[in-house]
Structure 1
């Protein structure tokens, strides 16, 4: 004789529904965060880090600026990031101003959170550095490394092979970037076409057709780089629809 456990039967019937609703909610949340932009949105209120998450001992707000700071007394052991949590944009233009004091930083976009506890992300990065060697390049953090140097337009095919065209001299473009002073950064992500502009000049671009490596959406974040003590500042951070 077959005996039925009524409680177990009800549990078996109900649990898939609960899990299904959770999955749907997560999918809806992800879709909402990656929804196309219809108007410009300010990502920073100038007063606090609402909408952002990162190490509280490293990131703060001063004089209407987001400030990342490391010290010699408490050096960081790995790159860490301040992550924007309210959206994961796909196609967009991001404009902001930055100022760096020492070493290296960057602006992550269409990136993925790799370690939530340590605030580690990987993905496309618009590079910033005090030495002015890498500022403006397109680098893939935790991925393929340098995708385009300053002055390069790079097409990456489906196999990861690169076709590189030089549209300007990288050193000359660097003369228009001013370490230790405020600079304008504009990042354009339109489909697989990615462009970096600093102080109005195109400094690098990539057409990324490598579908198993490329990214169509993801988080924005600011980097503090392992190494010597540093300070980096960001302000006037606005996300725009692609023009």
Structure 2
């Protein structure tokens, strides 16, 4: 009788533990429905949906006076993995994360940025828009100390890593943000890494957004945008 009772208790505990584990597993969340910009906000003259893609476009006739962003407004994630595909046809763009909206009317955003660059000079770096500037170049693992000083380690050659990035074609981007540890990956290879220990500057949560950059006319495309729980 006692043995049966203990077996029952153990079974219940195991079931409860399994249920808790299942609840803890969050399903990936698509951030784009492939049809319209539900959940996103930006200038209607700059952003549209074409062929299941989010498309940002500037023109020579209507140049930007400042960088403009398409902002995901449904949530402001903290720890996560973000995966998507992008294609850029000119100049520069980027993916903002853990960022803050500086001007809601003009769709201006500042914060961490996973850079996208048609010239392939900056693609994959970690840049802080309207903040500390370049935090990590391609091939660098950077620790930002509490006083703002950098400790830089090199994990790869920036040019060689860049050879695996293809301007004008579709590329896979993965951004991992867990605690103060930030990582960028393009086409399966890590491009930059930061440990942000500067408490008065580091961001723990914020918006996701896509950038259109001042300068020459440009087109950038995004698709298959999915938010995953941090592993």
- TM-score normalised by length of structure 2: 0.89
**1:71 maps to which residue?**
59
- Runs of 4+ in structure 1 off by over 6 angstroms are none
Work out whether residues 83 and 221 of structure 1, in 8 Å CA contact, stay in contact via their aligned partners in 2: yes
The 1-side partners of 2:193 and 2:182 are apart by 5
- Tell me whether 1:97 sits opposite 2:85 in the alignment: yes
1:69 Cα deviation after fit: 0.1
**1:25 maps to which residue?**
none
Q: What do residues 73-115 of structure 1 show as CA deviations (whole Å, max 9, x unaligned)?
A: 1001000000000000000000000000000000000000000
1:37 Cα deviation after fit: 8.2
**1:59 maps to which residue?**
47
- Tell me whether 1:140 sits opposite 2:128 in the alignment: yes
Paired residue total:
208
Unaligned runs of at least 5 residues, structure 2: 1-23
The 1-side partners of 2:25 and 2:209 are apart by 18
The 2-side partners of 1:200 and 1:160 are apart by 30
- TM-score normalised by length of structure 1: 0.85
**1:114 maps to which residue?**
102
**2:189 maps to which residue?**
201
Work out whether residues 160 and 210 of structure 1, in 8 Å CA contact, stay in contact via their aligned partners in 2: yes
- Tell me whether 1:240 sits opposite 2:228 in the alignment: yes
Question: What RMSD in Å do the two structures reach over aligned CA positions?
Answer: 0.9
Mapping of 1:215-226 within 5 angstroms?
Answer: 215-226=203-214
Change over 3 Å in CA distance of 1:192–1:166 after alignment to 2: same
Work out whether residues 101 and 130 of structure 1, in 8 Å CA contact, stay in contact via their aligned partners in 2: yes
